[in-house]
Amino acid sequence: MSSLVRTKRDLDMPLLTSKQLTNVSMGLLKAAGASEEEAEIVTRFLVKANLAGVDSHGVLPNLIPYIRGLREGVIKPGARFEITKETLSTALINGNWGFGQLICYKAMQLAIDKARKTGIAAVAVYNCNHVGRMADYTQMAVENDMIGFICVNSDPGVAPYQGRKRVLSTNPLSYGIPAGKEKPIIVDFATSVGAEGKVRAALYEGQQLPPGWIVDSQGRPSTNPADLYDPPLPPEQIKLAGAILPMGGPEKGYKGYGLGLAVEILGGALTGTGCSYQVTPGSTNGVYINVVKIDQFVPLQEFKDRVDWLIRTIKNSPKAEGFSEILIPGEPEFREEEKRSRSGIMIPDMTWKTLVDTCKEYGLDAQKLISS
């Protein structure tokens, strides 16, 4: 496509192929100390988020903090993936503060291997940095004809129902479910009204939030994303900041709060990571993974036929007013991935400039990385 031919002017607001974005991310991570394997897995998942249209979990808002993490010793390259407790069906993992993506990738792989033997597996992870997008890991289970579940806690940003101060994390979870001829079902959401990354995106883009998303530091409802962070605070004073509200709104917020609390405890207490203010502020994720081998219960083809039938039944059912189709969880991301694989990934000006500058700091030429 002609829009992918680079000129100097293009670089001001580039449209990159996933290959080009991969080259930049790989190059920068390796220059900053990551191994080939670390750079490859981290980049794969970041670029995949960009392709899927989940830019909040993509290269741009995340790569620079990772580089900073390497520089400050928060992310430890070459960290050992250490199994500290194990049965045939379970494992507890000390991530030793390596890259979250690589730890979580290996943890999911271990869960899949264990589930293959006993039909079900649970793996819990502590001392783990930011793992990124939940859907990437449950898709690994799906590719192995298994049902995958993952959830993580992190430092607090969400108020409990009936409360107004951040005590819980956004506590996201994902289910990955294989289908037959249809695309798999990938459920992936924060148990808060929205992910913190979306509030940050609104802040950067100068947008207001929809009502019901956040309260300010005084507990007053707000649509200004700055109220979640304002006044700018050092991590130890984070209790003073605003809060995101639990999913479900003023009437049904107890559902999002209850589910979030379960995730907080699976990710925080069961892994030994700690819950709420016990979590090391920054990018810590306590990870809980659960994998189910389908044909330990029912024949795989029967299961897939049922899921296909359900997907078609849903999609063929009458639409609500204002909607021309009913989407299956994961479908918007699969579509965007196909689209961006063809059209490229648009990178906002300012964030691209930061990336080019960071490359320079490591003696790298972003333009050269792109065309390599």
Tell me which residues in 312-351 interact with its own copies (CB under 8 A): 313-314, 317-321, 323, 325-329
Q: Stretches 3-11, 25-33, 53-61, 182-190: which one binds its own copies (CB under 8 A)?
A: 182-190
Q: Which is nearer to its own copies, 61 or 286 (CB)?
A: 286
Question: Least separation, in Å, of the C-beta of 107 and its own copies?
Answer: 13
Size of the site for its own copies (CB under 8 A): 84
- The dihedral built from the CA positions of residue 117, 118, 119 and 123, taken in this order, carries a sign that is negative
Asked whether position 109 contacts its own copies by CB under 8 A, the answer is no
Q: Which of 72, 205, 236, 251 binds its own copies (CB under 8 A)?
A: 251
Asked whether position 206 contacts its own copies by CB under 8 A, the answer is no
Q: Which is nearer to its own copies, 199 or 345 (CB)?
A: 199
Which residues face 126 on adjacent strands? 94
- As a whole number of angstroms, the distance between CA 120 and CA 180 comes to 21
Question: Least separation, in Å, of the C-beta of 149 and its own copies?
Answer: 8
Asked whether position 177 contacts its own copies by CB under 8 A, the answer is yes
- As a whole number of angstroms, the distance between CA 118 and CA 110 comes to 13
Q: Which is nearer to its own copies, 103 or 122 (CB)?
A: 122
Asked whether position 259 contacts its own copies by CB under 8 A, the answer is yes
Question: Least separation, in Å, of the C-beta of 92 and its own copies?
Answer: 5
Q: Which amino acid is at 134?
A: M
- As a whole number of angstroms, the distance between CA 361 and CA 22 comes to 19
Q: Which of 82, 143, 309, 349 binds its own copies (CB under 8 A)?
A: 309
- As a whole number of angstroms, the distance between CA 151 and CA 257 comes to 15
Asked whether position 274 contacts its own copies by CB under 8 A, the answer is yes
Asked whether position 181 contacts its own copies by CB under 8 A, the answer is no
7 alpha carbon, distance to own chain's centre:
33
Asked whether position 108 contacts its own copies by CB under 8 A, the answer is no
Q: Which of 46, 294, 359, 369 binds its own copies (CB under 8 A)?
A: 294
Q: Which amino acid is at 314?
A: I
Q: Which two tokens stand for residue 193?
A: 């009204």
C-alpha dist (Å) from residue 372 to 206, 262, 364: 35, 46, 12
Q: Which of 269, 282, 351, 354 binds its own copies (CB under 8 A)?
A: 269
Q: Which of 10, 68, 297, 349 binds its own copies (CB under 8 A)?
A: 297
Q: Please give the residues from 207 up to 226 whose contact with its own copies meets the rule CB under 8 A.
A: 210, 212, 215, 219
- As a whole number of angstroms, the distance between CA 261 and CA 296 comes to 30
Are 261 and 275 spatial neighbours (Cβ–Cβ below 8 Å)?
no
Are 181 and 308 spatial neighbours (Cβ–Cβ below 8 Å)?
yes
Count CB-CB contacts under 10 A for residue 325.
7
Question: Least separation, in Å, of the C-beta of 272 and its own copies?
Answer: 5
Q: Which of 33, 53, 77, 163 binds its own copies (CB under 8 A)?
A: 163
C-alpha dist (Å) from residue 286 to 86, 142, 229, 362: 18, 22, 23, 31
How deeply is 66 buried, as exposed, middle or buried, from its count of CB atoms within 10 A (0-12, 13-18, 19+)?
A: buried
Q: Which of 302, 338, 349, 365 binds its own copies (CB under 8 A)?
A: 302
Q: Which of 303, 336, 316, 330 is nearest to 185 (CA)?
A: 330
Q: Which two tokens stand for residue 85?
A: 């407790």
- As a whole number of angstroms, the distance between CA 370 and CA 324 comes to 39
Question: Least separation, in Å, of the C-beta of 43 and its own copies?
Answer: 28
Q: Which is nearer to its own copies, 70 or 122 (CB)?
A: 122
What single-letter DSSP state applies at residue 342? H
Asked whether position 307 contacts its own copies by CB under 8 A, the answer is yes
Q: Stretches 54-62, 289-297, 337-345, 364-372: which one binds its own copies (CB under 8 A)?
A: 289-297
Q: Stretches 24-32, 36-44, 274-282, 335-343: which one binds its own copies (CB under 8 A)?
A: 274-282
Q: Which is nearer to its own copies, 201 or 269 (CB)?
A: 269
Asked whether position 236 contacts its own copies by CB under 8 A, the answer is no
